[in-house]
Structure 1
Amino acid sequence: MPARSHSGLWRAALGFAGLALTGAGLLYPLAGVGLGQVAFHAAANGSILMHEGRAVGSMLVAQPFAADRYFQPRPSAAGYDPMALAGSNQARSHPALAERIEATRAQIAQRERVDPADVPADLLTQSGSGTDPHISPAAARIQVVRVAAARGMTPAQVQRVVDAQTEPPSLGVLGEARVNVLALNLALEASPAGRPHP
């Protein structure tokens, strides 16, 4: 049997490389992008939230709110910067962590006019990513009175918006009920009762 020529081996190798690059480098990614756009359109595009025709953030990333008319998210060790995702990396035994938590507890208790013991843990602790967009229903509940006063609404009106924005555990059993802070604040902005009066 005659040995194959070197040119034949090169042709076979280059042909296989071309097929592999086209399949794995072009067709497979295009199929993945196409499937994502069809089956998970919002998530594939960053779960962007729109307000009055402009993008204001993502359902997946927390952002700070300063004004009293807005609900506040969890603290962030990353400064809410999605390019610098990080937790504090401090152990529970670290004295600086305990000091920061107590200072945050006192600040929130004063801002919300509640007993320091009533401040939920998720408003005191930073998430591992630093950009957790959710708070617990309890963390939203202690902010209702402040937000209602700033918006000229009743606490009951604001609580109804909170209840409507509360997400159940995933699949009914995974995790806990939660409230997306950005979605909640946008729902309040969209509420006729929550808009600023001229």
Structure 2
Amino acid sequence: MKQHILPAIRLTIVTLIFFSGVYTLAVLGAAQLFPNHGKGEVIEQNGKRYYANIGQSFTDDKYFNSRPSAVGYNAAGSGGSNKGPSNEEYLGVVQARIDTFLVHNLGVQKADIPVELVTASGSGLDPDISEKAALVQVDRIAKVRNVPVQKLQQIVKEHISKPLLGLFGPAKINVLKLNLALDQLK
């Protein structure tokens, strides 16, 4: 028994030192190589600070809607709802989101609504939507802001982030950056 306990204790101590010290310092050091030194992407506009890496709620018709959040966009409580597609309560929430979207986006058919506009992400804090999810909202925003549809479509195209190295992940649009660009329109 003694021959098993001592190695287990040593392994526990080494692992504790490694993961609470060495590994943490290695990640912190690697973060210093990136812009903002691992503190996220901070955008300042009109005297306000925004974190572009965290999804935010936009419900006003003059803005592009973000992906819904299961945690109310609270970064301290990141997480999904853990309710599956057969859960009646979850289906009711999704149907309510669809109904709300259709009321605010007249002329859009239910089949044309991208799934990310009515379902929350796994973290509940996804800051990005697809090009399709942005374009389906253009008509509503054009009417509210009295801006030509083509101008809004161009702004959407300018804000598309391509996949990493052209291979990894989908093309996406940061909703905060897109909405801040809308506020810059004259």
- The CA deviation at 1:148 is 1.4
Instruction: Select 1:175's aligned residue among 169, 173, 182.
Output: 169
Runs of 4+ in 1 over 4 A off after TM superposition: 31-35
Please list every run of 5 or more consecutive structure 1 residues that lacks an aligned counterpart in the other structure.
1-20, 193-198
Residue by residue, what CA displacement relative to the aligned partner does 1:128-181 show, whole Å, maximum 9, x if unpaired? 110100011111011111111222211111111000001112221112111100
Q: Give the corresponding residue for 1:10.
A: none
User: Whole-Å Cα distance in 1 between the matches of residues 99 and 37 of structure 2?
Assistant: 37
Per-residue CA deviation, residues 94-153 of structure 1 (Å, 9 max, x unaligned), is 111222212211211121111112111111111011010001111101111111122221
**Aligned residues with identical type, % of pairs:** 36
Deviation, structure 1 residue 54? 3.3
- Between stretches 121-130 and 43-52, larger displacement belongs to 43-52
Residue 133 of structure 2 aligns to a residue whose secondary structure is helix
Q: Relative to structure 2, which stretch is displaced further, 42-51 or 176-185?
A: 42-51
Aligned residues: 166
2:101 to 101, 108, 113: 108
Map Cα deviations across residues 18-76 of structure 1 (whole Å, 9 max, x no partner).
xxx9xx969x94x8656533x20236122111113431x21210111132111110111
**Within the alignment, does 1:157 sit opposite 2:159 as a pair?**
no
Q: Give 1:45's match in structure 2, choosing from 39, 42, 65.
A: 39
**Residues in 1 aligned to 2:179 and 2:139: alpha-carbon distance in whole angstroms:** 14
Match of 2:31 in 1: 36
| In 1, Cα distance between equivalents of 2:171 and 2:78 | 24
Q: 1:191 aligned to 2:174? A: no
- In structure 2, what is the Cα distance between the partners aligned to 1:74 and 1:58? 16
Letter of the 1:161 counterpart? I
User: Residues 43, 160 of structure 1: CA spacing in aligned structure 2 closer, same or farther, 3 A cutoff?
Assistant: farther
Q: What is the Cα-based RMSD across aligned positions, in Å?
A: 2.2
The answer to which of 159-168 and 94-103 deviates more is 94-103
* Deviation of the 1:90 alpha carbon: 0.3
1:66 corresponds, among 59, 63, 74, to 59
Mark the runs of 5 or more structure 2 residues left unpaired by the alignment.
1-16
- Choose the corresponding residue for 1:87, options 80, 83, 90: 80
Contact 2:61-2:104 at 8 Å conserved across structures = no
The amino acid across from 2:165 in the alignment is L
CA distance in 2, matches of 1:32, 1:80: 26
Scaled by the length of structure 2, what TM-score is found? 0.81
